[in-house]
């Protein structure tokens, strides 16, 4: 029911935004156009009441000064109608294409670009902890709860508490449960990525829609006998800025966020797979050197080479025992 309501709302919002983009006054949509309109109104008023040439020149110089200011350079790219057509239209289309909950999460997902992938230190923390626990398991000793609680990763602590201390749980069941958790995480992340990729595709399309609307407005006003430069500028602002907004939103926000979500997902999956391998080794009470040889491949190349060099040096000194 909620998804049907969201689809209906998305359709109505999209239609309303397009109508808004067509009918909203240009001088109330773009600050630059608004200021130019004000200057031209003042100049026309001065001419109508027979003001002196100096008075008209003063206002004209103020208009020229505004056009060359940084404020004008910035505000001429800010257009409310264009923002609503592109951003609002893209979000309305997302409400139609996806469940309401997924569409609402896009606001949160945009800030995911500031998140991080799993670092090498976290992989090494899993590696070190698994080697420590494998020593105790291989000697058939209990792993203290305090040691498990010190593990910095919740996924690993949860797996340790659920499977390692309970020997009657079969290896197949352990593997199936952890694999299902990883699969569920993957499906959820892929859904979020799909939403952002969809918005990255539709934003340029709504930019082109705004361009068509702007060109229609421009041609209609240019054909009028009383059309002014402000009327032409209003149509041009919608025609060009919507395309700019569509490209910027797609290439600077939606698609980069989806790429970041994908990379973050891959790093989490890799870490979870490392934990799954380690938990299965612990469940089987494998020898620590077997655990080390398998889990070391998850570390960075630089760290692997460093650990291998340290191992060779320890073997040369006779300090390393298998």
Residue 283's nearest CA partner among 139, 182, 175, 171 is 171
Question: Left, alpha or beta for 285 (phi > 0: left; psi -120 to 50: alpha)?
Answer: left
Q: Domain for residue 23, yes or no?
A: no
CB 239 within 8 A of CB 218: yes
- Parent domain of 178: 115-322
Give the Cα separation of 277 and 264 in Å (integer). 20
**What per-residue confidence (pLDDT) applies to 228?**
57
Q: Domain for residue 211, yes or no?
A: yes
Packed helices 288-295 and 255-284: angle between N→C axes, nearest 10 degrees: 170
Q: Vertex 49, ends 48 and 54: CA angle to 5°?
A: 95
Question: Domain total for the chain?
Answer: 1
**What per-residue confidence (pLDDT) applies to 194?**
92
Q: Provide the Cα torsion 29, 32, 34, 38; round to 10°.
A: 180
The residues of the chain scoring below 70 in pLDDT are: 1-4, 6, 26-27, 112-118, 163-168, 220-238, 314-322
Q: Provide the Cα torsion 194, 197, 203, 209; round to 10°.
A: -70
Q: Domain for residue 12, yes or no?
A: no
Exposure class string for 264-285: b at 16+ Cβ within 10 A, else e: bbebbbebbebbbbbbbbbbee
Q: Domain for residue 180, yes or no?
A: yes
Give the Cα separation of 221 and 227 in Å (integer). 6
Q: Domain for residue 40, yes or no?
A: no
**What per-residue confidence (pLDDT) applies to 240?**
80
Residue 211's nearest CA partner among 79, 119, 112 is 79
Q: Which residues, including other chains, have CB under 8 Å from residue 182's CB and lie 6 or more apart?
A: 269, 272, 273, 276
Give the Cα separation of 291 and 285 in Å (integer). 10
CB 165 within 8 A of CB 142: yes
Q: Where are the alpha helices (DSSP H) in the chain?
A: 2-23, 31-48, 53-67, 70-75, 80-83, 89-97, 100-104, 106-110, 120-138, 145-149, 154-159, 171-222, 229-248, 255-284, 288-295, 301-316
Instruction: For the chain, state the CA radius of gyration.
Output: 31
Q: Domain for residue 301, yes or no?
A: yes
Q: Vertex 159, ends 155 and 162: CA angle to 5°?
A: 135
Q: Domain for residue 4, yes or no?
A: no
Largest CA distance in the chain: 104
Q: How many CA atoms lie within 13 A of 47 on its CB side?
A: 9
Q: What is the DSSP string of 194-226?
A: HHHHHHHHHHHHHHHHHHHHHHHHHHHHHTSTT
**What per-residue confidence (pLDDT) applies to 225?**
52
Residue 143's nearest CA partner among 155, 154, 157, 153 is 157
Q: Domain for residue 295, yes or no?
A: yes
Give the Cα separation of 293 and 255 in Å (integer). 38
The model's pTM is 0.78
CB 300 within 8 A of CB 120: yes
Residue tagged 């020898």 (tokens):
287
């Amino acid at each position: 029911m909620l998804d049907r309501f969201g689809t209906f709302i998305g359709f109505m919002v999209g239609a309303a935004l397009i109508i808004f983009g067509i009918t909203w006054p240009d001088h109330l949509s773009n600050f630059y156009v608004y200021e130019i309109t004000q200057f031209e109104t003042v100049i026309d008023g001065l001419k109508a009441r027979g003001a002196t040439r100096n008075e008209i020149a003063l206002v004209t110089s103020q208009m020229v000064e505004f056009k060359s200011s940084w404020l004008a350079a910035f505000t001429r790219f800010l257009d409310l109608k264009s923002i609503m057509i592109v951003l609002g239209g893209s979000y309305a289309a997302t409400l139609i294409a996806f469940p309401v909950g997924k569409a609402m999460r896009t606001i949160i997902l945009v800030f995911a670009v500031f998140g991080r992938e799993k670092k090498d230190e976290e992989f090494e923390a899993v590696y070190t902890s698994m080697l420590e626990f494998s020593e105790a398991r291989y000697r058939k000793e209990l792993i203290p709860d305090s040691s498990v609680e010190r593990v910095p990763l919740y996924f690993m602590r949860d797996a340790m508490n659920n499977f390692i201390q309970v020997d009657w749980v079969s290896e197949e069941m352990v593997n199936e449960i952890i694999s299902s958790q990883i699969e569920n995480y993957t499906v959820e992340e892929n859904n979020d990525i799909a939403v952002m990729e969809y918005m990255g595709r539709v934003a340029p399309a709504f930019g082109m829609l705004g361009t068509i609307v702007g060109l229609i407005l421009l041609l209609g006003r240019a054909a009028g006998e009383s059309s002014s430069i402000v009327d032409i500028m209003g149509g041009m602002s919608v025609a060009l800025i919507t395309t700019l907004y569509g490209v910027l939103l797609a290439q600077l926000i939606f698609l980069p966020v989806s790429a970041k979500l994908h990379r973050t997902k891959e790093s989490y999956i890799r870490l979870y797979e490392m934990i799954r391998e380690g938990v299965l080794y612990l469940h089987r009470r494998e020898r620590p050197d077997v655990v080390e040889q398998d889990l070391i491949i998850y570390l960075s190349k630089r760290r692997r080479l460093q650990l291998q060099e340290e191992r060779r040096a320890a073997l040369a000194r006779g300090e390393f025992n298998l």
